[in-house]
Amino acid sequence: MSTHPSQRLDNIVHQRVRLGILAVLSEARHADFAYLRDTLDLTDGNLSRNLQVLEEANLVEIKKVFEGKRPRTWVTATRAGRAALKAEVAALRELLSQVDGTGGGQKKAKG
Amino acid sequence: MTTSSTSEAAAHMLDELQSLRQRTRDELSGSWYSLFVFGVALLLFAALLVAARGAPLNAYWPIAFVVCLGLITRHYRQRVREVGVAKESWPFRLITAAVIVGVYAIGALASGTLQDIGPFLISAAGGLVFAYLARSVVLAASAVTLAAFTVALGMADVDHTTAILFAVFGAASLAMGFILKLRARE
């Protein structure tokens, strides 16, 4: 018997901010801390905490460098991070299609 | 949580992710600059072809490629520093190298009409791959139109086919660059 798609949602990845970070990074080679903070409309502390969780799970890599005299933090999605995002999106889509297929009067899935 | 609200939350999450990805893709889209630079180089070569009246211009493209690629690399590095996000550049480098090799190979190996139009068809094919990488419908349509125009011109067997194609590819490249730049500012 196959598992319900909701069982496949990863607790680390399935969080709005962390999913957002991985979504941005999935389109880029890397992004800096300020770009992620501004794009996702977060505070420094909130972004730091979520990046730390993703880094501990090996889903992102964080590099602190100096460009001239300016410190800069670059964040890159690892291969596992990209795969985790893909799996999460697939699980969400499956969840939607199951709900649409069984629930009478449900809202139609977008995208 | 009810089935309905789970469904809505999932749909909302997917929408949000899609919009974030699109926003990053838009931020990264800098194809306009490459199109501008190559457009100018192509138009300049078309003018030189007419002015040179058959005199050899062998040194033009090796120099132009180095200058164009240097300008494009400098532009992207500067942009990455300013915006704070960088895209994977190896697919673009690979396609550029493949187009350069293909253009020179078909120019050296083919004969007749194919020798005249082959390099342009390879450039149009390269444009189509770029369009796919940049997820740009405008670029894809432009590449297909240019390929069709190239074949039509080759079959029509008119004079100055090469100069006309360089001018048309140059003008199209500049126009596309202009359109993409305008769209990027919206």
Among A109, A33, A20, A48, which Cα is nearest to B19's? A20
Coil, helix or strand at residue B85 = strand
Q: Partners of A32 in the beta sheet? A: A74
Among B44, B12, B142, B101, which Cα is nearest to A107's? B12
The answer for B56, left when phi > 0, alpha when psi is -120 to 50, beta otherwise, is beta
- A interface mutation test: which of B12, B20, B88 has the most A CBs within 10 A? B20
CA dihedral B173, B95, B145, B18 (to 10 degrees): -90
For B91, the closest chain A residue by CA position comes to: A29
User: What is the predicted ipTM?
Assistant: 0.73
Q: Is the pLDDT at A47 greater than 80, yes or no?
A: yes
Half-sphere exposure in the Cβ direction for B123 (13 Å, CA): 25
Instruction: Please give the model's pTM, rounded to 2 decimal places.
Output: 0.71
| Under 8 Å between Cβ of A20 and A41 | no
For A18, the closest chain B residue by CA position comes to: B17
Q: Which band of pLDDT confidence, cut at 50, 70 and 90, is reported for residue A49?
A: very high
- A interface mutation test: which of B1, B12, B14, B29 has the most A CBs within 10 A? B14
For B135, the closest chain A residue by CA position comes to: A27
Domain count, chain A: 1
Q: Locate the domains of chain B by residue range.
A: 3-185
H or E element, residue B24: helix B3-28
| Under 8 Å between Cβ of A44 and A51 | no
Average pLDDT over residues A38-45: 94
Whichever domain contains A60, its CATH number is: 1.10.10.10
User: Phi and psi at residue B115, in whole multiples of 5°?
Assistant: -65, -35
Give the model's pLDDT for residue A104: 40
Average pLDDT over residues B86-104: 86
Residues of B whose CB is below 8 A from A94: none
List the domain range (segments joined by +) for residue A95. 9-100
* Assigned domain for A110 exists: no
What is the C-alpha separation between B123 and A93, in angstroms, rounded?
A: 38
For A16, the closest chain B residue by CA position comes to: B13
Q: Which band of pLDDT confidence, cut at 50, 70 and 90, is reported for residue B3?
A: low
Q: Partners of A71 in the beta sheet? A: A66
A90 at interface of B, judged by CB pairs closer than 8 A = no
The per-residue pLDDT for range A66-111, each reduced to its tens digit, is 888 889 999 999 999 999 999 989 988 888 887 766 544 444 433 3
Coil, helix or strand at residue A65 = strand
| Under 8 Å between Cβ of A43 and A78 | no
A5 at interface of B, judged by CB pairs closer than 8 A = no
What is the C-alpha separation between B47 and B167, in angstroms, rounded?
A: 8
Residues of B whose CB is below 8 A from A26: 21
- Nearest Cβ partner of B6 from A34, A35, A99? A99
Higher-scoring residue by pLDDT: A21, B113: A21
- Nearest Cβ partner of A29 from B23, B83, B88? B88
Give the model's pLDDT for residue B1: 52
Residues of A whose CB is below 8 A from B89: 29
Strands across the sheet with A60-67, in order? Answer: A60-67, A70-77, A30-32, B85-86
A109 at interface of B, judged by CB pairs closer than 8 A = yes
What is the C-alpha separation between A18 and B17, in angstroms, rounded?
A: 11
Q: Is the pLDDT at A3 greater than 70, yes or no?
A: no
